[in-house]
Amino acid sequence: MILHNTSNYTILFLDVQWSQHLGEQFGPTNTNIEWKGVNTTQHHFPSKIWIVKPTWEATLKILSILPIIFLGILANGALIYIIIRAKSLHTTTNLLIVNMAIADICICILCPWMFLCIDLYQNYILGSIGCRLDGFVIHALTLVAVFNLSVVSYDRLSAIVLNCSSRLTKRSTHLLLYAIWILGIIVATPLCLYRSYYERQWSDYLETYCTEDTVVLYPYWHVFAGLSVWAPLTIMAICYSAILIKLDRFESQALRSKYPITVRYKGKVARALGIIVLAFIFCRVPFTILIIQRARLLQQPSKPGQAESMYFLCNQQFNSEQFNCLKPRSPCIRLNYHQRSRIPNISSRISPINLELSPN
């Protein structure tokens, strides 16, 4: 909506919850490059200022996440302690499990608090270093954990289905442990290089946020999804399917052999690992879809007029007359209605922005 006023143009912005604007393509308020050229120090912050979420909400979220942190550290720590103390358990498979448990402990210690800092505060409070390291650390540890799962799957396949010559040795296992960490760090490095911390001063608020280079990281998220979800999932599905087929084919013959209990034990383990694969699919696939969809939406520019259309449709459904604003809690907009700075029931603010235009 553009109103002509002598030598100046007055543009009315409406910043709604989905961060769309009327009449101008400045885009979301947390996208630095699209606000380039606008002197924000002369204008109010276009969203509701809430600084930090209510105490009850923060307390509830912290208390709900503490048991997960405690159980994760306790279970993985106990597993590492038992395997390290018992020399008979120093097998190739258990070394891989210890490596995975170390990554899980790091995730339990670091990741929940990073998520809470981002969720509970309106501004990004981790600073420039935190902006570059939070995504890098979280995704590097995630990659280490899933790479370990893939190697453990192959180790079980070689022990049950393939001959003994293809099994991992302690030397090759140690090399794999180093390779897993190095590969996880290398794959997660773009998140450290192409994320930036910004500060933007408004007339009534200092905004701080962390954003990423969507041009570079858009294809990266597809690579990350492939390495962290689809490749490990394919490896685990193939390995455990081969194990189950092998056990099912020879189970009747093996049960008549000298050691039937061992075969039954292996069958139970294989079925348990199959359940792990299903849980991996159930938890990881929706998360992967969310990552790809988020990357796609971040790359697209804001659509001017989208918010206007949605408000028009809402008003058409809930108001008998368009743009009347007569009801005290009617969520509508009317021209020349300057007495209100906020729209009822909507976390929004109307901010007049005067842009000086050159004679040309």
Please state the domain extents for the chain. Answer: 48-317
- Lowest-pLDDT range of 13-22, 36-45, 204-213, 307-316: 13-22
pLDDT for 229: 86
The model's pTM: 0.68
Task: For residues 311 and 332, give the distance between their C-alpha atoms in angstroms, rounded to a whole number.
Answer: 7
Does residue 163 contact residue 190 with C-beta atoms inside 8 Å? no
Express each pLDDT in 58-80 by its tens digit. Answer: 999 999 999 999 999 999 999 99
What dihedral angle (degrees, nearest 10) is formed by the CA atoms of 142, 146, 152, 158?
A: -150
Q: What is the mean pLDDT of residues 195-216?
A: 91
Task: For residues 121 and 119, give the distance between their C-alpha atoms in angstroms, rounded to a whole number.
Answer: 6
Q: How confident is the model at residue 215 (pLDDT cuts 50, 70, 90)?
A: confident
Q: Is the dihedral of CA 67, 69, 72, 77 positive or negative?
A: negative
Q: What angle do CA 4, 24, 327 make, to 5 degrees?
A: 75
Q: What is the mean pLDDT of the chain?
A: 74
DSSP class of 76: H
Burial letters 241-270, b for 16+ CB under 10 A, else e: ebbbebbeeeeeebeeeeeeeebeebbeeb
Distance of CA 84 to the CA centre of its chain: 33
In 3D space, the residue among 286, 354, 295, 344 whose CA is nearest the CA of residue 318 turns out to be 344
Q: What is the mean pLDDT of residues 15-29?
A: 36
Instruction: Give the pair of three-digit tokens for residue 283.
Output: 């938890």
Q: How confident is the model at residue 299 (pLDDT cuts 50, 70, 90)?
A: low
CATH superfamily of 48-317: Rhodopsin 7-helix transmembrane proteins (1.20.1070.10)
- Lowest-pLDDT range of 14-28, 102-116, 196-210, 266-280: 14-28
Burial class (CB in 10 A: 0-12, 13-18, 19+), 1: middle
Does residue 235 contact residue 205 with C-beta atoms inside 8 Å? no
**Quick one: what percent of the chain has pLDDT higher than 70?**
65
Residue with the two structure tokens 């897993």: 180
Instruction: Give the pair of three-digit tokens for residue 168.
Output: 């991992």
Query: Is 105 or 342 the better-scoring residue by pLDDT?
Result: 105
The per-residue DSSP string of 120-134 comes to HBSS--SHHHHHHHH
Angle between helices 231-254 and 260-299 (to 10 degrees): 160
pLDDT for 84: 92
CA gyration radius, the chain = 28
Q: What is the mean pLDDT of residues 200-209?
A: 92
Express each pLDDT in 329-357 by its tens digit. Answer: 444 433 343 444 443 433 344 444 444 44
Q: How confident is the model at residue 261 (pLDDT cuts 50, 70, 90)?
A: low
Task: Look at the chain and count its residues.
Answer: 360
